[in-house]
Amino acid sequence: MKALLAANSTSCCVYLAPSHFLRHNRRFLNLKELRKVDGIVIRTPRCSMDVSLGGSYNYENIPKFPRMNVRDPYKRLGISHDASEEEIREARNFLLEQYAGHERSEESIEAAYEKILMASFRERKKSKINLKSRLKKKVDESPPWVKTLISFVELPPTDIILRRLFLFAFMGAWSIMNSAESGPAFQVALSLLACIYFLNDKMKNVVRASITGFGALVVGWIAGSLLVPMIPSVLLQPTWTLELLTSLVSFVFMFLACTFLK
């Protein structure tokens, strides 16, 4: 490690310090008083005589960023237009370190970096809008029966989806753990009540919510009765009965009904 050198005279003060030391302590130093010569950062603070005589700094030897006036932010940072976010960030940090102490250079580098970030944000936002527009166009071009089905469906917030998914997943796991002792009738009844409760919260009609919830249970039970026999027996545990597997399919249908139906 290069030793710390200090030289004092009657008119100026010069301090030399290792680059890595100053790099870790930059927040304690005035960046305008730093310049780099052969890997060593030179700090030239104001001396007492300069202060008393009203002296000022001379920053003519501080390196200046040569691409300050380049309009293209990518070319200003010296990267290609298909550079990744990590490459953009590394280029910006490298240039800020190389031209530390020159205010206009630092401002130019930061401006280019922020301009690239804003352009990337606008592109992402535009792609999301385009995706929604394409989906809406597909729906508008779909047959009438598809539009009718879609009119009964809504997409709730993510937290609601996750909470209800956890509830019905818990019911399924509970049914599997008790499969050797008893059937899943109790868990199915609780799931049906939860489904009706969630549907009534949206529909504000107990009768309609009850019919919809019971219908989801029946459709799920019928679908399970048709699908379960197709599952190879080697994939199933000996204690997993047809009633248990059918109830698991019913849980899925009740979850979909109380979560995504209007």
Domain positions in the chain = 63-141, 150-231+240-260
**3-class state of residue 259 by DSSP:** helix
Helix axes 85-98, 103-141, angle to 10 degrees: 170
Residues with Cβ within 8 Å of 225's Cβ and at least 6 positions away in sequence, in order, are 242, 246
| 24-to-19, 29, 97, 102 alpha-carbon distances in Å | 9, 10, 12, 19
Distance (Å, whole) CA 246 – CA 256: 16
Share of the chain above pLDDT 70, in %: 69
Q: What is the pLDDT of residues 207-239, one digit of tens each?
A: 999 999 999 999 999 999 998 888 887 888 877
8, pLDDT greater than 70: no
